[in-house]
Chain A
Amino acid sequence: MSVLEIKDLHVSVETDQGTKQILRGVNLTINEGEIHAIMGPNGSGKSTLAYTIAGHPKYHVESGSILLDGAEVLKMTVDARARAGLFLAMQYPVEIPGVTVTNFLRTAKTAIEGEAPPIRTWIKDVRQSMTNLRMDKTFAERNVNEGFSGGEKKRNEILQLELLKPKFAVLDETDSGLDVDALKIVSEGVNRAKANTGLGLLLITHYTRILRYIHPDFVHVFVNGRIAEQGGSELADRLEDEGYDRFLVPSNVG
């Protein structure tokens, strides 16, 4: 069984005002098949955690480690992390002009599997996933994320999640900017991917509404760069009622 362990992770980022400490000792263990929700107010470091796992060059790891089945993820290049089984669904996926979705998906699948997928089953898989996500056929021939609406971009992220079949996926505010119909479609996609591959999920969100459709096993409240409280799904209900106020009082001082 696969396990992703984050141990005492400290991360900083360079800003115009100098080095800014963002993560201050994050500890988290995710087993295959588990859904962990990370919730927290704006600026608490949730997205930094997501991008650090994926290996974005902007974030500087000061100390700590991220282990995927015992292997040090922090030593891997961005693409090696993906090939090892990590996936990040981005909050703001970038446009890649001139590269069609079809071409991109096939290139990524080939890179991850180490060989080109068999044509016939691959085309069938892509079509099926697109149909499930209510994506029109014409998407396949459009350039990646170019001219996509917010909802279309998120669906395109989940399409990749379904097709690339990672061991662990981080969903960075996948719910943001989605109307309720799109939220349901995207959530169904995530649940389907989990049912098919048994992947572990780290669901990063500001709001609880996505948790109505994707049920977390664990909820972690992220404040000021570390986990302030954790519990089961009942914690999410409490946050829905109370908001983050009770966590913010002491942390704003420091």
Chain B
Amino acid sequence: MSAASALSKSASKTVPEPSTPATSASTLPVGQHGIKEHSDGRFGYVPVQTRSDRFKSVNVADFQAVTGREAVWKHSPVAKFTDLTAGDLDGSRYLIELTPSAAISVEWVPRTDARIGTAGLPEERAAANAWGVFDDALAITVSGEEAKEITVTRSALGNTARGAHTIIEAKPFSQATVILANTGDARLSENVEIILGESANLTVVSLQEWDDSAVHLANHFASIGRDARLKHVVVSLGGSIVRVNPSVRLAGPGSDTLLLGLYFADAGQHLEQQVYVFHDAPKSRSRVNYKGALQGQDARTVWIGDVLIGNKAAGTDSYEQNRNLVLSEGTRADSIPNLEIETGDIVGAGHASATGRFDDEQLFYLQSRGITEKEARRLVVRGFLTEVVQQIGSPELEARLQLAIEAELIGTDDK
């Protein structure tokens, strides 16, 4: 049920699991029985070998119609959001609520804003579709060295298919926690660019507590400057289909990122996250820890964790892990870690993935202290997810998330 591995300094190049892309067609022996090109029509097509080489474009027409067979879409129910991948999107401004905070400005800026496109570019059709339509981008700009927090809430997007763009910039040496809170209904494809100047210390939390009908496809692109630190947290609890894909480039020497995720899929929910960390500078460090629970018929989660340690990234240290706790029959959790290393000079690189049911020994221990099986299960699930909550670093938000997890757990009692 579990797999874990770690690579030491000596590993020079590894792309181990779970299934390496097929080798290029031209290297296949000719005439051997059973080996031929795929019959999907793309004759002679050679899959991308390195994560950073993936095709990127801001122009939706550059991407073929989504079929559901593409690497980025093959785990998603693409037929349920063709309006976001192929339809016309509403790119107008929308209503936000916010808790004002000194030294953090929140404003709408035009498409000509110099920051747009500096943190990353779309790698799939829904992202490009959103990129093409937004009238103005919401820009959250952090300055000032003292710690501060802001919450930007969207609760009235409605069920119109929308495209949106957000910029979060932390000026050099600035420090803040930015919480993007999402509630209500939505059919949204969006791009969020996160730009950290030198030595900035930024926490970004994307909180998905949508209504049951909401569909949300998000790509977060982060670029982290020298000695800057980004903590990025994805919390997905509510919504029908929620796909939040953070893509982080450690661009400056000594840059550091901690990517956390917490998700709880109920019956029929699809919660997905494709995480990509690109070590593109020496002495950069990354940690990825995503934890999820699944409960109910057709509860579905997907986690893909790509880590690329580029040839400029000597002396880097990285570790990614995903853990899933399966609470009932009829669920499915995909967990796909990929690690690609282009330099031999690293401090550490490892990954781990485990998906399993309750640990019987934990339950026995708790029950042997008089705690009923039901309560013991709740304690274990709560504990499992709390590990991520405890690392967010915002006491108010942590308390709120504990309550939200309690609410999810009450749901599990009836089953």
Residues of A within 8 A of B (CB): 54-57, 77-79, 81-83, 87-88, 90, 93-99, 103-104, 107-108, 111-112, 143, 160, 164
- Kindly list chain B residues whose C-beta atoms are within 8 Å of the C-beta of A90: 365, 368
Cross-chain contact B382 with A79 (CB below 8 angstroms): no
Most buried by B among A55, A78, A81, A94: A78
Cross-chain contact B383 with A143 (CB below 8 angstroms): yes
Q: Is B386 an interface residue (CB 8 A)?
A: yes
Cross-chain contact B382 with A98 (CB below 8 angstroms): yes
A95→B367 CA distance, assembly (Å): 14
Q: Given A97-B384, A98-B384, A79 and B360 touching (CB < 8 A)?
A: no
A103→B366 CA distance, assembly (Å): 12
Cross-chain contact A54 with B368 (CB below 8 angstroms): yes
Contact of A108 among B359, B370, B387, B390 (CB under 8 A): B370
- Kindly list chain A residues whose C-beta atoms are within 8 Å of the C-beta of B386: 98-99
Contact of A107 among B364, B368, B379, B390 (CB under 8 A): B379
CB distance from A6 to the nearest CB of B (A): 18
The 6 closest A-B pairs by CB, nearest first: A98-B383, A98-B386, A82-B370, A108-B369, A78-B367, A111-B370
Q: Given A88-B368, A94-B362, A96-B362, A77 and B373 touching (CB < 8 A)?
A: yes
Q: Whose C-beta in chain B lies nearest to the C-beta of A85?
A: B370
A57→B364 CA distance, assembly (Å): 8
Q: Is B385 an interface residue (CB 8 A)?
A: yes
CB distance from A19 to the nearest CB of B (A): 20
Q: Whose C-beta in chain B lies nearest to the C-beta of A111?
A: B370
Contact of A111 among B360, B369, B383 (CB under 8 A): B369
- What are some 26 contacts across the A-B interface (CB < 8 A)? A54-B364, A77-B367, A78-B367, A78-B368, A79-B367, A79-B368, A79-B370, A79-B371, A79-B372, A82-B369, A82-B371, A83-B370, A87-B368, A96-B365, A97-B387, A98-B383, A98-B390, A99-B379, A104-B369, A104-B379, A111-B375, A112-B369, A112-B370, A143-B383, A160-B369, A164-B370
- Kindly list chain B residues whose C-beta atoms are within 8 Å of the C-beta of A104: 366, 369, 379
Q: Given A79-B370, A108-B371, A111-B375, A56 and B364 touching (CB < 8 A)?
A: yes
- Kindly list chain B residues whose C-beta atoms are within 8 Å of the C-beta of A55: 368
Contact of A98 among B366, B367, B376, B387 (CB under 8 A): B387
Q: Whose C-beta in chain B lies nearest to the C-beta of A160?
A: B369
Identify 14 new A-B residue pairs, CB closer than 8 A, beyond the known A54-B364, A103-B379.
A54-B368, A77-B373, A79-B368, A81-B368, A90-B368, A94-B364, A94-B365, A98-B382, A98-B385, A99-B386, A104-B379, A107-B379, A108-B366, A160-B369
Cross-chain contact A82 with B368 (CB below 8 angstroms): yes
Q: Whose C-beta in chain B lies nearest to the C-beta of A80?
A: B370
Per-residue A-contact encoding for B348-362, CB less than 8 Å = 1, 0 else: 000000000001111
From DSSP, what is the main secondary structure of chain B's interface residues? Answer: helix
Most buried by B among A57, A79, A99, A112: A79
CB distance from B132 to the nearest CB of A (A): 43
Residues of B within 8 A of A (CB): 359-362, 364-373, 375-376, 379-380, 382-387, 390
- Kindly list chain B residues whose C-beta atoms are within 8 Å of the C-beta of A57: 360, 364
- Kindly list chain A residues whose C-beta atoms are within 8 Å of the C-beta of B367: 77-79, 82
CB distance from A66 to the nearest CB of B (A): 15
- Kindly list chain A residues whose C-beta atoms are within 8 Å of the C-beta of B375: 107, 111
- Kindly list chain A residues whose C-beta atoms are within 8 Å of the C-beta of B365: 90, 93-94, 96
- Kindly list chain A residues whose C-beta atoms are within 8 Å of the C-beta of B376: 79
A99→B402 CA distance, assembly (Å): 12
CB distance from A125 to the nearest CB of B (A): 16
Q: Whose C-beta in chain B lies nearest to the C-beta of A114?
A: B370
CB distance from A113 to the nearest CB of B (A): 9
CB distance from B280 to the nearest CB of A (A): 33
Cross-chain contact B371 with A94 (CB below 8 angstroms): no
Q: Whose C-beta in chain B lies nearest to the C-beta of A79?
A: B367
- Kindly list chain A residues whose C-beta atoms are within 8 Å of the C-beta of B360: 57
A143→B380 CA distance, assembly (Å): 12
Contact of A96 among B368, B383, B385 (CB under 8 A): B383
Most buried by A among B365, B372, B373: B365
- Kindly list chain B residues whose C-beta atoms are within 8 Å of the C-beta of A97: 383-384, 387
Contact of A164 among B366, B369, B380, B390 (CB under 8 A): B369
- Kindly list chain B residues whose C-beta atoms are within 8 Å of the C-beta of A83: 370
Q: Given A96-B379, A99-B379, A79 and B387 touching (CB < 8 A)?
A: no
A82→B373 CA distance, assembly (Å): 12
- Kindly list chain B residues whose C-beta atoms are within 8 Å of the C-beta of A77: 367, 373
Q: Given A57-B364, A96-B380, A111 and B372 touching (CB < 8 A)?
A: yes
- Kindly list chain A residues whose C-beta atoms are within 8 Å of the C-beta of B369: 79, 82, 104, 108, 111-112, 160, 164
Q: Whose C-beta in chain B lies nearest to the C-beta of A51?
A: B364
CB distance from B76 to the nearest CB of A (A): 30
A96→B376 CA distance, assembly (Å): 10
- Kindly list chain B residues whose C-beta atoms are within 8 Å of the C-beta of A96: 362, 365-366, 379-380, 383
A98→B362 CA distance, assembly (Å): 12
- Kindly list chain B residues whose C-beta atoms are within 8 Å of the C-beta of A79: 367-373, 376
Contact of B383 among A54, A99, A108, A160 (CB under 8 A): A99
Q: Whose C-beta in chain A lies nearest to the C-beta of B376?
A: A79
Q: Whose C-beta in chain B lies nearest to the C-beta of A56?
A: B364
- Kindly list chain B residues whose C-beta atoms are within 8 Å of the C-beta of A143: 383
A81→B373 CA distance, assembly (Å): 13
A173→B143 CA distance, assembly (Å): 59
A87→B373 CA distance, assembly (Å): 17
- Kindly list chain B residues whose C-beta atoms are within 8 Å of the C-beta of A78: 364, 367-368
